[in-house]
């Protein structure tokens, strides 16, 4: 069929996503691939494009009925040209790839930034999409590669990392041990990520929900033509990524603490000053403004599981390793600010500062789906040190991406830290 005939085939049955570029070519390609193999894998990372392809698959298979036009047992004779896959024999090769069912659950973005946790915390239906963490933007068919890189930067900023973005390939040899390097490129209707592994000096990537691959080249050597390995069968993926490449270096100096859930500004204000329990203005101004950032960590997955239909509980809320890390590990002070300066000022004024802070992070309710949780807490700073005060009884669940929410949410025990030394 021609492209126009393919569009007529799906007309009145499937809605083409807004702004979809070159829909005729895409629909024709999907139809032909499904005609050849009803179960052909779509190595697509963008959830909107993936859903569009799956809808076309369903329509084509309904048209032909249940007859299998290619045996599911038929093994592809294709061998990877630009990648290697970890094989069932325990080495890297061009065919017979090893398979883990967990790989079906996440895409190239989650893989590249090491956020493959399950149960997942995604908000857009395919773990993860750029923008799922900071919500400052998302991939769309018109977004430039530069703007998409900035969306990723915002996500990593939100997760508490120091981030550097460039369109010039960094020399991986110069990376510090705590630095990570990823790169991003887009095609007509999808995006793709790769990540650098310093231990063997190869680039790795994961096309959609297929197996991770080791790239044989440098990212800039070729236009990226997708190849896939799924359940031991290797095929061409059918997608080309040919935009400029943007590289993102992000610092992971606190990787030994746990997973970074978010990073939040700490704002110091004269109204936060107290003396003998009563609010009071200082005799001299310290200077209001952001004094630093508070990082929120978890040693496990943050989620909500339903106990009954009208009751849910949080579990595994364990923000930091209390044995090995102090509260100062979670604070990043702005230039010119440090605990000694602040506590010295408060000692001279015989005061303390109680700074309110609300942290927000996504959780997954197994009955309702992703929700955004708002968690109030306080940071108390005095001449004797800093105390992190958790308001565990005031957990506030904010309806965000779901219709309706559990009637009763209870917080599990959550622990703060006290730093007694200045």
Structure tokens at 6: 């393919």
> Please, are residues 84 and 214 in contact by the beta-carbon 8 Å criterion?
yes
Q: What is the pLDDT of residue 309?
A: 36
> Please, are residues 167 and 141 in contact by the beta-carbon 8 Å criterion?
no
> Please, are residues 401 and 153 in contact by the beta-carbon 8 Å criterion?
no
User: Would you call 384 exposed, middle or buried from its count of C-beta atoms within 10 A (0-12, 13-18, 19+)?
Assistant: middle
SS3 61: helix
Q: What is the pLDDT of residue 285?
A: 57
Name the DSSP letter for residue 324: T
Q: Which of 194, 199, 286 is nearest to 246 (CA)?
A: 194
Q: What is the pLDDT of residue 248?
A: 97
User: Would you call 248 exposed, middle or buried from its count of C-beta atoms within 10 A (0-12, 13-18, 19+)?
Assistant: buried
Q: What is the pLDDT along the chain (422 residues), one digit of tens a residue?
A: 899 999 999 998 999 999 999 999 999 999 999 998 898 889 999 999 999 999 999 999 999 885 555 544 455 688 999 999 999 998 999 999 999 988 988 899 999 998 886 555 555 556 789 998 888 999 999 999 999 999 999 999 888 788 999 999 999 888 887 789 999 999 999 999 999 998 889 999 999 999 999 999 999 999 999 999 999 999 988 899 999 999 999 986 554 444 555 666 777 777 777 765 555 555 555 566 777 666 655 544 444 333 333 333 333 333 333 343 334 444 555 665 555 566 667 777 777 777 776 666 555 555 555 555 555 667 677 666 556 554 443 333 333 322 333 323 333 222 222 222 22
Q: What is the pLDDT of residue 354?
A: 76
Calpha distance 45→192 (Å, rounded): 7
Q: Cβ of 170: how many Cβ atoms within 10 Å?
A: 16
Instruction: Show the 3-state SS of 340-371.
Output: HHHHHHHHHHCCEEEEEEEEEEEEEECCCEEE
Q: What is the pLDDT of residue 6?
A: 94
Q: Which of 273, 259, 415, 237 is nearest to 352 (CA)?
A: 273
**First-to-last C-alpha distance (Å) of the chain:** 75
Calpha distance 251→160 (Å, rounded): 9
Domain ranges of the chain: 3-64, 83-251, 259-419
* Omega prior to 119 cis, within 30 of 0: yes
Strands 213-215 and 233-241 come out as unpaired
């Amino acid at each position: 069929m021609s492209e126009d005939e393919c569009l007529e085939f799906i007309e009145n049955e499937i809605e083409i996503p807004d702004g979809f570029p070159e829909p005729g070519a895409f629909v024709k390609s999907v139809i032909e691939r499904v005609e050849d193999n009803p179960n052909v894998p779509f190595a697509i990372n963008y959830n909107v494009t993936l859903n569009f392809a799956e809808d076309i698959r369903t329509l084509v298979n309904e048209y032909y009925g249940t007859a299998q036009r290619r045996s599911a047992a038929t093994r592809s004779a294709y061998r990877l040209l630009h990648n290697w896959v970890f094989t069932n024999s325990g080495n890297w090769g061009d065919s017979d790839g090893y398979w883990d069912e967990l790989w079906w659950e996440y895409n190239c973005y989650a893989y590249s930034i090491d956020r493959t946790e399950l149960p997942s915390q995604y908000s857009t239906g395919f773990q993860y999409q750029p923008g799922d963490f900071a919500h400052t933007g998302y991939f769309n068919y018109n977004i430039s590669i530069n703007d998409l890189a900035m969306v990723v930067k915002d996500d990593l900023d939100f997760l508490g990392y120091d981030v550097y973005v460039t369109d010039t390939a960094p020399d991986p040899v110069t990376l510090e041990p705590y630095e990570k390097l990823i790169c991003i490129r887009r095609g007509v209707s999808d995006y793709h990520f790769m990540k650098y592994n310093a231990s063997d000096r190869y680039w790795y990537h994961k096309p959609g929900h297929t197996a991770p691959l080791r790239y044989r080249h440098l990212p800039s050597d070729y236009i990226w033509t997708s190849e896939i390995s799924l359940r031991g069968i290797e095929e061409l993926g059918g997608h080309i990524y040919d935009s400029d490449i943007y590289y993102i270096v992000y610092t992971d100096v606190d990787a030994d603490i746990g997973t970074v859930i978010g990073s939040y500004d700490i704002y110091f204000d004269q109204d936060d000053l107290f003396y003998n329990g009563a609010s009071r203005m200082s005799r001299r101004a310290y200077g209001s403004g952001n004094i630093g950032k508070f990082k929120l960590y978890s040693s496990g997955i943050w989620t909500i599981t339903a106990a009954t239909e009208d009751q849910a509980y949080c579990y595994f809320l364990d923000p930091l390793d209390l044995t090995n890390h102090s509260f100062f590990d979670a604070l990043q002070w702005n230039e010119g600010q440090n605990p000694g300066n602040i506590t010295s000022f408060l000692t001279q004024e015989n005061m303390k500062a109680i700074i309110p802070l609300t942290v927000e992070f996504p959780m997954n309710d197994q009955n309702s789906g992703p929700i955004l949780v708002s968690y109030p807490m306080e940071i108390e700073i005095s001449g004797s040190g800093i105390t992190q005060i958790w308001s565990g009884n005031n957990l506030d669940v904010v309806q965000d991406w779901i219709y309706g929410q559990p009637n009763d949410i209870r917080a599990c025990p959550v622990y703060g830290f006290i730093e007694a030394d200045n």
